Chains A and B, each alone.
Chain A
Amino acid sequence: MSVLNLKDITKKYGELAAVDGISLDMERGKVLSLLGPSGCGKTTTLRIIAGFTSPDTGTVEIAGKDVGHLRPYERNVGLLFQDYALFPHMTVAENVAYGMRHRGTPTSEITTRVLRMLSLVQLTGMEARRPHQLSGGQQQRVALARALAIDPQILLLDEPLSALDAKLRLELRLELKEILRSVGATTIVVTHDQEEALTLGDEVVVMNAGKIAQRGTPTQIYEAPADKFVAEFVGRSNWFHASKRSQSTDGLTSYVADDGLEIRTRASRPDSEGGVDLCVRPEDIELVDGTAPESAPSPEHNVLAGVVLDVAPLGADVHVVIELPGKSRLLAIRKNVGRGSEILPGQSVRALFSASDVLVFQR
Chain B
Amino acid sequence: MKSGGSQVLPHLPEAAANAPIVKSAQKRIVGARVRAVKSQVLLLLPAVAVFVLFLGLPMLTVLNESFRTFEPGRIGSVEGAPLTIENYAELFLPVYMRYFSQTYFLAFCASLIAVLIAFPIAYFIARYASSTMRKAAMTLLIGLTFLSALVRVYALQLAFGSVGIFAPIMSALGVNMNGSLYINCVIVVGLLHYSIPMSILILIGAVQQLNPRLTEAAQSLGASALSSHLTVTIPLCIRGLVSAFLVSMTLGISAFIIPWILGRGRVMFISNLIYSRFSEITNYPSGAAISIVMMALSLLLIFIMSRLFTLLDRT
Contacts and interface: CB of A to CB of B under 8 A. Distances in A.
Interface of A: 50, 52, 71-73, 76-79, 81, 83, 85-90, 98-99, 102-103, 146-147, 150
B7 interface: no
Interface stretch (B41-49, B132-140, B220-228): B220-228
Given A71-B219, A71-B225, A150-B222, 10 more contacts: A72-B219, A73-B224, A78-B220, A85-B217, A87-B232, A88-B236, A89-B314, A98-B221, A99-B221, A99-B222
A81 B212 CA distance: 11
B23 interface: no
B6 interface: no
A226 B38 CA distance: 74
Contacts of A102: 218, 221-224, 227
Interface string B13-24: 000000000000
Given A83-B211, A87-B214, A73 B220 contact: yes
A77 to B, nearest CB: 6
Contacts of A150: 221-222
Contacts of B218: 87, 98, 102
B236 A81 contact: no
B217 A79 contact: yes
Contacts of B222: 73, 76, 99, 102-103, 150
A89 B223 contact: no
Contacts of A89: 235-236, 313-315
Contacts of A72: 216, 219-220
B213 interface: yes
Contacts of A76: 222
A98 B220 contact: no
Contacts of A85: 211, 213-214, 216-217
B216 A81 contact: yes
A63 B223 CA distance: 21
30 contacts: A52-B216, A71-B225, A72-B216, A73-B220, A73-B222, A73-B223, A73-B224, A73-B225, A78-B220, A78-B221, A79-B216, A79-B217, A79-B220, A83-B211, A83-B213, A85-B214, A85-B216, A86-B217, A87-B217, A87-B232, A88-B236, A89-B235, A89-B315, A90-B314, A98-B221, A98-B223, A99-B221, A99-B222, A102-B218, A102-B227
A99 B222 CA distance: 6
Contact size range, B: 20 to 34
Contacts of A50: 220
Contacts of B231: 98
A149 to B, nearest CB: 8
A225 B200 CA distance: 55
A71 B216 CA distance: 11
A77 B213 contact: no
Closest 4 CB pairs of A and B: A99-B221, A85-B213, A85-B217, A89-B314
Interface in B183-230: 211, 213-214, 216-225, 227-228
A340 B147 CA distance: 87
Nearest to B236: A89
A146 B235 CA distance: 19
A52 B236 CA distance: 21
Contacts of B213: 81, 83, 85
Nearest to A103: B222
Contacts of A99: 221-223
Contact of A77 (B220, B227, B232): B220
A83 to B, nearest CB: 6
A81 B314 CA distance: 22
A88 B233 CA distance: 11
A71 B223 CA distance: 11
A79 B219 CA distance: 10
Contacts of B232: 87
Interface string B223-265: 1110110011001100000000000000000000000000000
A85 B224 CA distance: 17
A72 B221 CA distance: 8
A33 to B, nearest CB: 20
B233 to A, nearest CB: 11
B186 to A, nearest CB: 39
